[in-house]
Structure 1
Amino acid sequence: MFNVMIVDDEPIIRFGLKSSIDWEKENLKLIGDYSNGQQALDAMEREGRVDILITDIKMPVMDGITLMKKALVVNPKLKIVLVSSYNEFEYVREGLTHGAVDYILKPTLEPETFLKTVHKCVDKIEEEQKMDRKLEYAQQSNVAAIRRRVEQEMKRILLKKHDEVKSESVISMFEEPHAIVLLKLKGMDRVDEDFGFLYNSLIFEEIQERFYLATDEGICFLISDSELLFFLKKSSDPLTLTTMIKEKIERETSIGIIYGYDVVHDVQDLVKGYYRAHAACGRYFFHSEKEIFRYRPDIAQDVPALSEQELEGFLLPYEESRSETFIEERFGVWSSENMKPSVIKKEAGNILKTIFMKKIDPPVLMEKIAIIEASDTLEEVRKSTLEGLKACAQLLVNGENKPHMDNELLDKALHYIHAHYTDELTLQNVADHIHISRNYFSILFKRLMDQNFIDYVIELRVKKAKALLRQTSLKVYEVAANAGFNDVKYFSKLFKKVTGQSPGDYRLNHEQ
């Protein structure tokens, strides 16, 4: 709907202009009528957007030509119709020269003629809007194409570890210092287990979309399935933008985001800058109470793990309280940040291997070690190591060295999953049903089924959704709910990722 304003110092003319058109029927809104140009100009500033101005030429205080010139400064796309008498043609000529669309004569004013003139203005507005949309689309497409090219070039540089950068588009981008920010989701393995591997990519796509809506002075792209990179001018307050996006995504998804950052001063520092940001992000392992980390060059993390012989000297012969004390002592060493997280996890797993190898069932021992390796924080490593120690020790005490009946457990779990997959089914629900721990069930399911629990559930739900789309007339949100998805937006995006079609397109292509 377009806004129309009428200006004429003669009340009877204003009344005639207002009453000669059914404005609402023509999808127009008459937002005011005024007796002189100054009143109209003040109203424009007060009321906001005016699309069509119908104004008399000769008026007191401010005439129509002056009003026209001033109004076009405020809104260059304003469409103007002049209302004149026979003896005002020189003014009409001046008005047309300055951009008026047309004019109408008071003595011969007919509703049909007036309506045609207004339609002429509407046609011009719609044509301009159409051209603006085409231009905007072309500009956006061009910008998007340039971004994609720069993203791909930067990704190649980082993955191939080229220290010497020759790409002109990348070189020109780094003419001033940039912040390099690496984002990760908290507990990637847990997110995979609870939501499926596709959920990560959907969240990263959402972050990338919000990034480009918020700024046109940076680059954002996936560097791996679990990492997203921002490059922003240091002068543009990059941390404020990053934190704003982070907090919004966290509110909408309830999934935590951590990021590490540093500054790249020139393009040849790009690869090293990425590794500095990566190292900064890795500090979350030691400081899980924080979420934002700046690279610290004083942290070397070059201390190796204890050797097999050293561990045997400390831990054998096995005595439970002595082993617990040793783990707590090592936790103090690990907390110093002088060892890489991967080295710490390896050493923690080797503690269990040293004590229990050849004493308990190997799959059970390997699953306890896998839980340690899946830890995201140092505290989780400590807890998993102590729990693994107690669990393995209990097996020795009880003499339970026989292999678990894994296939029987899996059969029981699958039966339960197929009966409840359209409900709010979680990994914990199923683990509780078959009376084993969440972590143990996660590892068991992945080992025997060669996929995550939730990815298996999603396959069942998508299969159910396909059947409902083919066989019923349920609305998309009803299909989502009946297939076990409680978020229709997530369902639609995930369905398209899996099938290559939106739910609506899938239904159209499979109508029976």
Structure 2
Amino acid sequence: MWKIVIIDDERQVLQGMKRVIPWEDLNAEWAGEAMNGEDGLALIREVRPDIVITDIYMPIMNGMDMLEQLRKAGFAGKVIILSGYSDFEHARQALRLSVSDYVSKPISVPTLETILYKVIQELMEEEEKRTKQGELEQKLMLYEPFIEKEWVRAAVVGTLDHSYPNGVHMPEPYRYWTEKRHAAIGIDLVRDIRVNELSLSDLNLFRFAMSNIACEIAGELFPAFEYAELHSTRSVLIVHPEPAAMPQDKTQQKLEELAVRLIESLKGYLKMTIRVGIGSVKERWTDIPDSTEEAFRASDRREYRAVPDYEVYSGGGKEDGTRRTGAAVQFPVKFSYRLAGAIKAAQEEEAQRLVADYIAELKTQKGVTAEYLQTLGSELWGIIAYCLYEAGFAQGDLVANDQVAKELVGLTDAEQLRQWLSNKISLVCDSRQYKGNSKHRQLVDYMTDYIHEHYAEELTLAELADKVYVSRNHLSIIFKNITGETFNNYLIRVRIEKARELLLERRMLVYEVAEHVGYKNVPYFSTLFKKVTGMNPTELIK
């Protein structure tokens, strides 16, 4: 209820006001009264009313002096002045002190009611505005880590707007980039039979595990780094060698060591094969996208092998004598990242524009063969298919794999490729089920990211439902439809995957690992661990 205090040196006025104000209709309550400004000041400081009705001329302290002190102290409530005198100077002062209304005594009951209704309406509107602002701030705080991740991705591929190069608008955690050097390590997960057979949930867990391993290894070799997932099977590590801390060849050796350890660790722990490209070291952070392009161009072409016997390729042209020809076709990382983003959001017009612009550029290049176009089409279809995959759809629901393969063989020029891609994009984006679930996919992406960030904490679906302003039951259905499993099962699998990694490191005891991933009951943790992995925690570390 709205609290109202009345301050007047005439007791008759006080009693009359209390009697005629329609308290119930206004959803208001009488919060106190005073007969001079000094007592009124003390009363207002104590009860913090929403509305103050006050006279001006009162003993000890007048209404204006009282209001002056209140405003200086930060009182933001509404003030209605009732005065028996028409005084221009006081009216001007009242305006300066943000008084809601200034009326002369005597005041009729209808006029008083009208004024109070108006003031309370203002209070309600301000309350609603504060509530919306609070919700917005809460959402911004909630999404800030993920907004920062998107900023890093954009910085890595070169899609930031032009307001960032001077560093003024950079997120605080990344302003140190302006004082560092930078190199991109492009990581491409090889699509073997095992990877192609993974479910969406399993692939997300593997990507989560890949990020943990990559970050741990990078942290041992470089004091500063960032990891960003791009699209499909690609991700990138941005490392920051200390300026002039070591010769260029020593820096290159550390980059190659990082690449080799990534390959060995992912093969050893996850049984996954990756190909790694190394971009050249850049002095300016705004050149990071160039290093990213070099890294993935090296990985795609596979021309200059940097390390014998390992799928590590250098974008700087270093060669071990084994140059490959007829290698996989490459395309700009920026283009592929933007295309994936447009398809994920079901933005058909933007996706079509990106493809049209890229193919137009391709037409100007010499030596573009039919084999080149077919390989490029296959790579671009891989992005589209992965977007379907992330959305929880099997690509076979829209286009059969053998049909795509037959269609690709028939592509012999760039215009045919453009038309083929245009048809596929329209087919995906026009799908009512795909388009209708675009917001749901974004919501689930946020939820899975949140789980991976906070798996060690007490997490419940109800808590996340409150954070994203969706009912618990509805959120449960959305999550199950997109991922194919329940929220609790997904949380358990994330925790157990992290626990498995910690146990294999052999740095912590079983009970310590259990607590680290969110389980205080060790027997319960052991039961879940065996259910998910097929073995007890103690068996894993023998």
- Range into which the TM-score falls when normalised by the shorter chain: 0.3 to 0.5
For normalisation by structure 1, the TM-score amounts to 0.36
Bigger Rg, which one: 1
